[in-house]
Amino acid sequence: MQGNGMMRLLPAVLVLSGALLVGCKSVPLSSDPMDSGVTRPAGQLFKVEWWKQLVHEQALLQTGPREVAQPAYDSERQQVIALTRDGVVHALGVDGKPRWTYRTGAFFSAGATIHDGKVLVPGGNGTLYALDAAKGTPVWTYDTGEELATSPLVADGKVLVASHNDALFAVDAASGKWLWQYRRESPSGFTIRGVSTPVAGDGLVYLGFADGVVSALELSDGTPRWERVVSSPGGTFRDVDTSPILAGGRLYVASYKDGVFALDPATGRVVWNTPARGLTDLLARGDVLYAAGDGQVAAFLAENGKQVWSLPLPKQAGRRLSFAKGYLLVPVQESLLFVDPGSGRKVLQWDPGQGVSAAALPAAGRLFVLSNNGYLYSLDLAGARG
């Protein structure tokens, strides 16, 4: 659940405020806005190959636009797929030239998935779209009736996508025909606006829910194999917003209320738990788990949960993490942080205009970043370490 400290509310109408750079050319960013914590100029880490304005319309009476859907990369057609807050699916070549667009008319909470020549799009209007990756025309659609909130997962011929209403839908990947669904009752009181993206392995699909439960479901029909409560009872914000991680024979999750857990993926038994409040995203890299959420980014040993370091983010929330060229990338809405994963030291804080909320995408030797202003950037990371 990628909400990172935002209560479960309907998306606001957003505005594109301020003019930004326009065009497609290579530009160093050493003079762009940086905070006082920067220890390395941007020009030493990357340069912008090109940028493209994707959102052109303005909405009245709103400030602080947000783009939360991570771009996706179609390696077969060498194109980037970006979903923007105005409900438009954009396909662009790696040179930034537009290929096609498709309009859904609804805000996106998560990015697309590329599979078998199709772009699978989780619509904020409740529709799951399968678009022809070359043309952008619909192959099939399925209407769930609920706002979809996760990037689709394809496993065993099924497309799985979760909604903001604590439901997981499974449809046939070839036809879009409904196969099964699983739902948990949403808890009363406040929850975090965000949804755990499912992950599959060994015939099971795993995901977390707003009531603090992690479920392992049979991939074939959605029957629960086991369900484990990882949030203490009572109070609010019990959500398991992190997408589960299967690695090294363990399943790693984080509860917003009670921290990081290592579970036995076959039984749900708790192997270890490290208390930490406010976590909404996990990322595994080697033998280390990186976690982000309200007010912090942290690293934990996967073996025993011991905390290695913590980077405070005063009055900010770390969102979905990614890695590129040996750096941990942390969107914090106001900017994109480059963090040394070994020490937790902030190396660079980059704001291309209105900040960055969506996860950055490393692909094709580049880093694709969708800014809150609705601009897609291609960063050349040549010369960066790692």
Q: Mean pLDDT throughout 303-321?
A: 95
- Is 276 domain-assigned? no
**Would you say residue 173 lies in a domain?**
yes
Residue 314 lies in a domain: no
What pLDDT, on a 0 to 100 scale, did the predictor assign at position 10? 31
With beta carbons less than 8 A apart as the criterion, state whether 255 and 307 touch. no
- Dihedrals phi, psi of 42, to nearest 5 degrees: -60, -35
CA 220 centroid distance within chain: 26
| Domain presence at residue 269 | no
Domain-embedded: residue 17? no
The pLDDT value recorded for residue 49 is 93
Q: How far apart are CA 241 and CA 213, in angstroms?
A: 10
CA distance 32 to 168: 42
Running DSSP on this structure, what letter comes out for residue 325? Answer: T
Measure Cα distances from 148 to 85, 196, 237 in Å: 14, 11, 20
3-state secondary structure of 110: coil
Tell me what the mean pLDDT of segment 158-177 comes to.
Answer: 97
DSSP 7: B
Residues 257 and 277 sit within 8 Å (Cβ to Cβ): yes
Secondary structure letter of residue 70 according to DSSP:
P
Q: What is the pLDDT of residue 59?
A: 59
Asked if the model's pLDDT at residue 34 lies above 60, the reply is no
Report whether pLDDT(31) > 70.
no
| 339 domain residue, yes or no | no
Confidence bin at 32 (pLDDT 50/70/90): very low
* Residue 16 pLDDT exceeds 70: no
Q: Is residue 258 part of a domain?
A: no
94: containing domain: 69-183
Inside any domain, residue 98: yes
Of 382, 386, 384, 365, the C-alpha closest to 80 is 365
Q: Supply the CATH number for residue 141's domain.
A: 2.40.128.630
**Is the confidence at residue 15, as pLDDT, over 90?**
no
Model confidence over 321-364: pLDDT tens digits?
999 989 999 999 999 999 999 999 999 999 998 999 999 999 99
Structure tokens at 203: 């015939």
Contact 302, 246 (CB under 8 A): no
What's the number of domains the chain is made of? 1
Mean pLDDT of 52-62: 74
Q: What is the mean pLDDT of residues 240-244?
A: 94
Distance CA 126, CA 160 (A): 13
Kindly list the distances between the CA atom of residue 69 and the CA atoms of 12, 101, 150, in Å, as whole numbers in the listed order: 15, 16, 9
Query: Quick one: average pLDDT of 157-170?
Result: 97
